[in-house]
Amino acid sequence: MAKLTLDSHWRALSRNDWSEILSLSEKKVFQRKFQIVEAFVALTAKRGFKDVSHADIAKACKITRQLVDHHFPTSSSLLALSYRFIYARFQKDLSDAVLTRVGFASRLQAYLSSVADCILTRPNDAKFLVQFYALRQTDSELLDLYERNTKIGQERLVSLCLAAQKEGALPAFSEAELRTRAASIQMLIMGFLVFATAGNTPLITEQMKKELHRCCIQILS
Domain boundaries, the chain: 3-219
- Rounded CA-CA distance 202/124 in Å is 9
- Rounded CA-CA distance 201/208 in Å is 15
Distance of CA 22 to the CA centre of its chain: 13
Give the pLDDT of residue 42: 95
What's the chain's Rg over C-alpha atoms?
A: 18
Give the pLDDT of residue 38: 95
- Rounded CA-CA distance 184/132 in Å is 19
Is 69 in a helix, a strand, or coil?
A: helix
Distance of CA 150 to the CA centre of its chain: 9
Give the pLDDT of residue 8: 65
- Rounded CA-CA distance 79/40 in Å is 9
Give the pLDDT of residue 94: 86
First to last CA, the chain: 19
Which CATH architecture group holds 3-219?
Orthogonal Bundle (1.10)
pTM, full prediction? 0.87
Q: What is the pLDDT of residues 148-190, one digit of tens each?
A: 888 888 888 998 899 899 889 999 999 999 999 999 999 999 9
Give the pLDDT of residue 57: 96
- Is the CB of residue 199 less than 8 Å from the CB of residue 170? no
- Count of beta carbons in the 10 Å neighbourhood of residue 203: 14
In tens digits, the chain (221 residues) has pLDDT values of 434 456 666 666 555 556 778 888 888 889 999 999 999 999 999 998 888 999 999 999 999 999 999 999 998 899 999 999 998 888 888 888 888 888 899 999 999 999 999 999 999 999 999 999 888 888 888 899 889 888 888 888 998 899 899 889 999 999 999 999 999 999 999 999 999 988 888 889 899 999 999 999 999 99
Helical residues (DSSP H) of the chain, grouped into ranges: 3-14, 20-25, 31-47, 54-61, 65-71, 75-99, 104-121, 123-135, 140-167, 175-196, 206-219
30: CB partners within 8 A, 6+ apart: 24
Q: Tell me how many degrees the CA angle 101-103-106 measures, rounded to the nearest 5.
A: 60
Give the pLDDT of residue 4: 42
Can you give the length of the chain in residues?
A: 221
- Rounded CA-CA distance 57/33 in Å is 11
Q: What is the pLDDT of residues 16-27, one digit of tens each?
A: 556 778 888 888
